[in-house]
Amino acid sequence: MCTSIAMKTQDFYFGRTMDFEYNFNESVVFTPRNYPLPFRRTDILDKHYAILGMATVVEGYPLYADAVNEAGLCIAGLNFPDTAYYPSSEDSNSKNISPFELIFWILGKCASVTEAKALLATTHLVSIPFSESLPLAPLHWHLADRESSIVLESTKKGMEIYDNPVGVLTNNPGFNFQTTNLCQYMNLVSNSPKNCFSSISSLVPFGQGLGCVGLPGDYSPASRFVKAAYLCLNSICEKDEMGSISQFFHILDSVSMPRGCVVTPENLYDITTYSCCMNATKGIYYYKTYSNSQLTAVDMHRENLDSELLRTYPLTVSQQIAWAN
């Protein structure tokens, strides 16, 4: 369960909520240009774009959940259970890439969504787990830059790429359903509604926000998609950095999950373990965790982009309080 959004003000911003029953030992990880990126079925990338995002590092390999590269291209992988499908057979006419390698494959080589589309045209996703103890997660992916946004889904029908003018992605059902489902909410307005019910003159709005009656508020993927899309497309904020990231996190907070409100069949609690916002223009990664609502940031341009060493920043998970006295 996750929600990702893209937003453009003065700069371009991209981020997501990570909604899960447990943490996966994640941290903010910076991969510099000269850190070698190995692949199981194709050549190693010795030189590539620098990458910053949230990852679990296993045997020196950053398994990114979401990231941005120095060119401003962003990707997030979101849960897509029972629908995602990765074929076991390889394609001799394509580059065979495992899903766990996909974020590296795209961000290491591509500066834009346009370049990513071209690369994906010659890419074949193949079912190769990282290890026996780390099977592949069922995912679909949200890719975005300042100019455009797409969704990549690998199902039994094959690998499909969808343009995403809404700039939002959640989970099941697939992206085609989610965008079609928006048609049910075309009546929503941010202003007070007009009386279309009848000619009875006494029907007037009795409070603010009545134009949004019917906007979903539950935690299902379809409802989170509609709510996040409405907020992204209608909310207004200051265009500077502080105004933009504040607005971005307000939107993510509207679809975040408090502990106890979503219980899995295994009797575990789905919670928003972290929320993040990347300023893709400046290469800054902001995040907050479930237990720490204060923002923490990592700036890739304060790092040595040409280094050969991975940099890892453990999450700040304890609540930080700015005392006023």
Kindly list the structural domains of the chain, giving each domain's residue range(s) and its CATH number in brackets, ordered by start. 2-172+220-314 (3.60.60.10)
Among 6, 72, 71, 60, smallest CA distance to 29 is for: 60
Residue by residue, pLDDT tens for the chain (325 residues) are: 899 999 999 999 999 999 999 889 999 999 999 999 999 999 999 999 999 999 999 999 999 999 999 999 999 999 999 999 999 999 999 999 999 999 999 999 999 999 999 999 999 999 999 998 999 999 999 999 999 999 999 999 999 999 999 999 999 999 999 999 999 999 888 877 777 777 767 777 777 877 778 899 999 999 999 999 999 999 999 999 999 999 999 999 999 999 999 999 999 999 999 999 999 999 999 999 999 999 999 999 999 999 999 999 999 999 999 999 9
Distance of CA 183 to the CA centre of its chain: 23
d(CA 161, CA 167) in angstroms, rounded, equals 14
- The answer to whether residue 2 is catalytic is yes
User: Which helix (H) or strand (E) segment is 224 a member of?
Assistant: helix 221-234
pLDDT at 206: 76
d(CA 159, CA 145) in angstroms, rounded, equals 21
pTM of the model: 0.95
Query: For residue 289, what are the contacts with CB-CB under 8 A and spacing of at least 6?
Result: 273, 274, 315, 316, 317
Give the Cα-Cα-Cα angle 188, 263, 278 (nearest 5 degrees).
60
Within a 10 A sphere around the Cβ of 218, how many other Cβ atoms?
A: 10
pLDDT at 12: 98
User: Which helix (H) or strand (E) segment is 226 a member of?
Assistant: helix 221-234
Which listed residue (2, 212, 232, 277) is catalytic? 2
Phi, psi of 52 (to 5 degrees): -135, 130
pLDDT at 198: 76
d(CA 10, CA 2) in angstroms, rounded, equals 26
pLDDT at 209: 75
pLDDT at 199: 76
pLDDT at 193: 75
pLDDT at 156: 96
